[in-house]
Amino acid sequence: MSHLTADGTEDIARILEALRAQGADDDFLFRARTHLPRLHRLFSELYGDHPHGLERLGEVCSLAASSWATRPLELKALDAQREANPTWFESERMLGGVCYVDRYGDGLDSIRRQIPYFRELGLTYLHLMPLFESPEGNSDGGYAVSSYRRVNPALGSMEELAALAAELRLAGISLVVDFIFNHTSNEHEWARKAVAGEPGFEDFYLIFPDRTMPDAYERTTREIFPDDHPGSFVQLADGRWVWATFYHFQWDLNYANPAVFQAMAGEMLFLANQGVEILRMDAVAFIWKRLGTACESLPEAHLLLQAFNAVLRMAAPSLLFKSEAIVHPDEVAEYISPDECQLSYNPLQMALTWEALATRDARLLQQALERRHALPPETAWVNYVRSHDDIGWTFADEDAAELGIDAFGHRRFLNDFYVGRAPGTFARGVPFQENPKTGDARVAGTTASLAGVEAGDPAGEDRVVLAHALAMSTGGIPLLYLGDEVAQLNDYSYADDPDEAGDSRWVHRPHRPEKNYAERTDASTPAGRIFGRLTDLLSIRRATPEFGGNTLWPFDAHSSAVVGFVRADAAQSKVLVLANVGDHPARIDALTLSGWAPTAADLVTGDSVSLSDGLDLPAHGFRWLRVSDRS
Ligand code: OTU
């Protein structure tokens, strides 16, 4: 038994020697030499004091080598292609879609049959919601995983998933699946073995004999799913307590144990070799715990992600991580780097788009674009209008205070507004996880229902289009919740299903809205109008190189209801985006626009526009204008 040393030279030499003896090829050894020093450093920070840290590091590397040895040739070809073009995902042609395999279809085969439609939309990325084996009944929509190597038999098999990944790839679409690595279901074999005290598994989870430690931890942790259980722990049948941040059947893994890292690295490499191109790293903020802290976004959470990243760089270099951190914007940003998660949801832009639509005031959104949008090179936002989860108001209190907004009261207003309690609201949402102790709540609802289409608000459709137009233009990968492009509404029938009734997020996870899809070319229906407008915008975006990448220059339109920014391509061609969240037309005066040459091209209408008399933006309207600097 030897410990990891801060200077890893000898350890690294020994591991490389073992990899050579194992028969690792030159490609692999080259990447191991590049990434092992980083992985060793991360391991010594995470597991320097652990008696088996070094041994585990060696085993993880050996696992990576055997994974590479069996990696299918077409995936190795993809690796080479991505390495030659590391910014491939920043292209203006990128478009994501997300759906449930058993709700958008009835299994993997039905998803395969949708490929022609995905191509018609222009998808280049498809996120299939959790599809692994999970408990019967409530499984948190599959976020309680019982095996990472078996597909839920109701949906298909792992062979079918790999075949689907290959077929999607041929269609130019990257398969994205969740890597739910903070917790497993209580039915996972590791969980059963841990409870039974089987050697090697006792420390896979955080199990305590009595309330002493749970009470101590809960002094500083938040309640995430208070409707399910208070605090962060649940009691086992034998009286012990296990850490369960989310549902009582989702047990948090103990990453302080390097055997857990090793086991999960194995699952990740397995999925990478099935042809998954992007892993959505679920609940990243929660993966490391330390007494006396909130146990969220601790420094070790980043070290763990970086260590997983280093393992992947060796054995499946084209694979990307997408961070799911729905937390304070400072913390969201900390997960994003080429060495950690290359992609991240952009929860701030999502929430502030809705905030702006409710308040008819774009200042918080504009401020966020100004100060919180920039990203390191070779990373990108994933911009979504809504997801399968609730909307949480994760803006920074301090940002709001600068604009004279009291964050607590504002969140309360937004919750009331979006669950239809505020006078004059256009939204039909429902509350999720209201916590009477803290006054916290989040909101569930489909885009169309939240935007006013369900309520029959005359501006509802314009708001749906406006929200998507922002997600398509600020920079990053826009992500469509499939069905929203045909204006699907809330589905309240979840309340009659005992497995779903306790989780209001089901209201916005309807089955594929067949009627809406049938109407999608009929402009006399909301589905037809929204589909027509959104697909037009999508094809314009694809043909607009200025929308690639992430760099954005704020543009002050001198109106509190108008968001303004400029995007540019490599040749410095520029597109000015102006969006009016207000209920009244907004006028941008000539002086404000006088920095641009007097004639601009409207990318949406195809018309040439004169800027010399100022511009009128209709209520809930926006413009994508190709402008040139005044010479
Ligand atoms: C994620 O979300 C998933 O997206 C959810 O669908 C799961 O229920 C959950 O993890 C457990 O696997 O609390 O309300 O960033 O906001 O990780 C959603 C913190 C959630 C959490 C987020 C979590």
Probe target for ligand 1 pocket from 282, 331, 479, with the most ligand atoms within 8 Å of CB: 282
Q: Is the CB of 579 under 6 A from ligand 1?
A: no
pLDDT at 275: 98
pLDDT at 438: 82
Residue 247 CA to ligand 1 centre (angstroms): 10
Instruction: Supply the residue whose CA is at minimum distance from atom 5 of ligand 1.
Output: 389
Q: In 3D, which of 169, 384, 140 has the Cα closest to residue 282?
A: 140
Mean pLDDT of the chain: 97
Q: Is the CB of 4 under 6 A from ligand 1?
A: no
Average pLDDT over residues 264-290: 98
Q: Is the CB of 390 under 6 A from ligand 1?
A: yes
What number does the ligand 1 atom closest to the CA of 140 have?
8
Q: Is the CB of 246 under 6 A from ligand 1?
A: yes
Please provide the distance, in angstroms rounded to a whole number, between the alpha carbons at the two ends of the chain.
71
The H or E element containing residue 375 is: none
Is 392 within 8 Å of 326 (Cβ atoms)? yes
Q: Is the CB of 444 under 6 A from ligand 1?
A: no
Q: In 3D, which of 578, 550, 579 has the Cα closest to residue 478?
A: 550
Q: What is the CATH number of domain 547-627?
A: 2.60.40.1180
- State yes or no: pLDDT of 7 exceeds 90: no
The fold of the 90-181+262-388+445-546 domain, in CATH, is TIM Barrel (3.20.20)
pLDDT at 437: 82
Amino acid at 491: D
pLDDT at 440: 84
Q: In 3D, which of 209, 219, 112 has the Cα closest to residue 166?
A: 112
Residue 43 CA to ligand 1 centre (angstroms): 27
For 10, the 3-state DSSP assignment is helix
Q: Is the CB of 228 under 6 A from ligand 1?
A: no
Residue 227 CA to ligand 1 centre (angstroms): 14
In tens, the pLDDT along 506-515 reads 999 999 999 9
In tens, the pLDDT along 69-127 reads 999 999 999 999 999 999 999 999 999 999 999 999 999 999 999 999 999 999 999 99
The H or E element containing residue 519 is: none
Q: In 3D, which of 212, 470, 522 has the Cα closest to residue 362?
A: 470
Amino acid at 449: S
The H or E element containing residue 193 is: helix 189-196
Confidence of residue 2 (pLDDT cuts 50, 70, 90): low
Q: So where are the chain's domains?
A: 1-70, 90-181+262-388+445-546, 547-627
Probe target for ligand 1 pocket from 185, 280, 389, with the most ligand atoms within 8 Å of CB: 389
Q: In 3D, which of 441, 429, 433, 364 has the Cα closest to residue 395?
A: 364
DSSP character string of 100-164: -TTTTSSSHHHHHTTHHHHHHHT-SEEEE---EE--SS--TTTTS-SEEEEE-TTT--HHHHHHH
Distance CA 280, CA 282 (A): 6
Residue 276 CA to ligand 1 centre (angstroms): 21
- State yes or no: pLDDT of 1 exceeds 60: no
Q: Is the CB of 180 under 6 A from ligand 1?
A: yes
Residue 246 CA to ligand 1 centre (angstroms): 8
Distance CA 1, CA 116 (A): 56
In tens, the pLDDT along 576-608 reads 999 999 999 999 999 999 999 999 999 999 999
Instruction: Supply the residue whose CA is at minimum distance from atom 13 of ligand 1.
Output: 224
pLDDT at 410: 97
Q: In 3D, which of 628, 625, 480 has the Cα closest to residue 544?
A: 625
- State yes or no: pLDDT of 459 exceeds 80: yes
In tens, the pLDDT along 195-245 reads 999 999 999 999 999 999 999 999 999 999 998 999 999 999 999 999 999
What number does the ligand 1 atom closest to the CA of 285 have?
15
What number does the ligand 1 atom closest to the CA of 143 have?
12
Residue 325 CA to ligand 1 centre (angstroms): 9
